Amino acid sequence: MADRSSHVVTQENRALVDGFGRHVTYLRVSLTDRCDFRCTYCMSEHMTFLPREELLTLEELDRLCSAFIMRGVRKLRLTGGEPLVRRNVMSLFRALSRHRESGRLDELTLTTNGSRLALFADELADCGVRRINVSIDTLDADKFRAITRRGDLGKVLAGVEAARAAGIHVKINTVALKGFNEDEIAPLMEWAHGEGHDLCLIEVMPLGDVDEERLDQYLPLTQVRTRLEERYTLTSSSFVTGGPARYVNVAETGGRLGFITPLTHNFCESCNRVRVTCTGTLYMCLGQDDAVDLRAALRNSTGDDAALHRALDQAMLRKPKGHDFLIDRLGQAPAVKRHMSTTGG
Ligand code: SAM
Ligand code: SF4
């Protein structure tokens, strides 16, 4: 008995390493597919959301995240949909904060649209959240309402302020959208840096059917960077967050600017992350459809996590070398059918 059980313990602690020798140390988990916004590049106006019983419970989410942490995940990002619309979400943050306290987890963080951030900022800080990402694509309240189809910019900015007051470092995420915020990138950067926040620009990715044509939205960040360089001095920064962004320092503002460019620059070779949806589906790559069902593994074994760990081992063998994104000038279909709100941004 002792010999075999010690083998099982080894499996539950073994690092997650894929077939290409990459260590998985960063996990993103979507807590819900629901959201109080309907950003035009992310969702369609009339989204059908999953029945609640399909979602992992908060207890299951805690079990799942904890299993990953036992296997060497050091950074955990909770996302969605909008993570802060999930009922009782703070009980999950509270539970997960034990891994921060024990030193097993370096970072517990979230990506939020900020609409409910003012309500939760203090509690998040108390749970050990030190940095968060807040998505803001424009500082014009009318355009903000238009791009989110319902959002209130004032509330989001109040949330950002509350986070800062609670001692949480804020990174602003902005999706670069052709014809929408092209002319606002510099002012957004001036504002963010002036407030002491990092700014990270994201290229629109072909995920899920939305009501608009992707090609109409796609703005290559190479183009944005060239335009910024006409006015600002950008120098490469060695700053890394464990995520896919590449950073530059901006001499004129003294701030940091990140670029996430899945379409113009392939960052797969250093990929250290996997994603789990709110239904417990593990995607080894944001840009591929192959997935492993962790919900079945969780629900089939309530006594111990052996089935879950076996599923994780299987998944590691299937993590692909790279993604297949392509905004096709002829084809209508998105490269990957699921929405960003399903996989978690
Ligand atoms: N609701 C939260 C928010 O908006 O921050 C978290 C989830 S959201 C899916 C995470 C990030 O993905 C946001 O910064 C959002 O702008 C970005 N996003 C959504 N759809 C995208 C797409 N098709 N291409 C690129 N980024 C996208
Ligand atoms: Fe909601 Fe975030 Fe998607 Fe916007 S980007 S619709 S806030 S999940």
Over 296-310, what HEC string results? HHHHHCCCCCHHHHH
Residue nearest to atom 20 of ligand 1 (CA): 42
Which residues lie closer than 8 Å to 200 by C-beta, 6 or more apart? 133, 171, 172, 173, 174, 245, 257, 258, 259, 260
Give me the pLDDT at residue 213, please: 61
What value does the mean pLDDT of the chain take?
88
For residue 339, the ligand 2 atom closest to its alpha carbon is 3
The tens digit of pLDDT for each residue in 217-231 reads 889 999 999 999 999
Structure letter (DSSP) for residue 17:
B
- Identify the residue with better confidence: 244 or 316: 316
pTM of the model: 0.91
- Look at the domain 13-170+270-343 and name its fold: TIM Barrel (3.20.20)
Ligand nearest to the backbone CA of 49? 2
Q: Indicate whether residue 42 lines ligand 1 (CB < 6 A).
A: yes
Closest residue to atom 21 of ligand 1, CA basis: 42
Per-domain residue ranges of the chain = 13-170+270-343
Task: Indicate if ligand 1 lies below 6 Å from the C-beta of 274.
Answer: no
* pLDDT tens by residue, 28-39: 999 999 999 999
Q: How far is CA 40 from CA 104, 153, 177, 204, in A?
A: 38, 16, 10, 11
pLDDT band at residue 323 using 50, 70 and 90 as cut-offs: low
CB distance 117 to ligand 1 below 6 Å: no
Going by pLDDT thresholds of 50, 70 and 90, the confidence category of residue 11 is: confident
As a whole number of Å, the end-to-end CA separation of the chain is: 44
- Residue 172, beta-bridge partner list: 134, 199
Please give the helix or strand (H or E) that residue 109 lies within, else none: strand 107-112
- Measure 267 CA to ligand 1 centroid, in angstroms: 18
Residue 207, ligand 1, Cβ within 6 A: yes
Closest CA to 61 of 50, 51, 71, 76: 76
